[in-house]
Amino acid sequence: MFGLRWLHKAVLRAAGVVPLHDENHAFAQAIETHRAAGAARRALDKIALVATFKAVLLEGLEVVFIVIALGASSGHLVPASLGALLALLLVVER
């Protein structure tokens, strides 16, 4: 059921009922839109900054919890905690 909508669109495009999507044209339009918006506004986007920070923090914490859980289940909690700390530092550094 998951891919049926995608398959339906692909069949219609292959049959010529629905026109093919021009990726180059869509990319050029998106770049032009972003350039026009960027030229008008050079201020820091606070919403994007907060969303990015939260995403990186969430990913880092997820890695920490996975490493600690796997290490604790095998009885090696100290090395797992050190690995989790190292993983967190690597994610935050990026």
Within this chain, do residues 38 and 68 fall inside the same structural domain, yes or no?
no
What is the tens place of the pLDDT at every residue in 20-29? 888 899 999 9
Q: What residue type is 22 in one-letter code?
A: D
Within this chain, do residues 53 and 92 fall inside the same structural domain, yes or no?
yes
What is the tens place of the pLDDT at every residue in 73-92? 877 888 888 877 887 788 77
pLDDT band at residue 34, thresholds of 50, 70 and 90?
confident
Within this chain, do residues 67 and 92 fall inside the same structural domain, yes or no?
yes
Q: Identify the domain containing residue 65 by its residue range.
A: 45-94
What percent of the chain is modeled with pLDDT above 70? 93
The domain total for the chain is: 2
Average pLDDT score over the chain? 83
Tokens representing 26? 């869509």
Looking at the whole model, is its pTM more than 0.75? no
Residue 63 near residue 88 (C-beta atoms within 8 A): yes
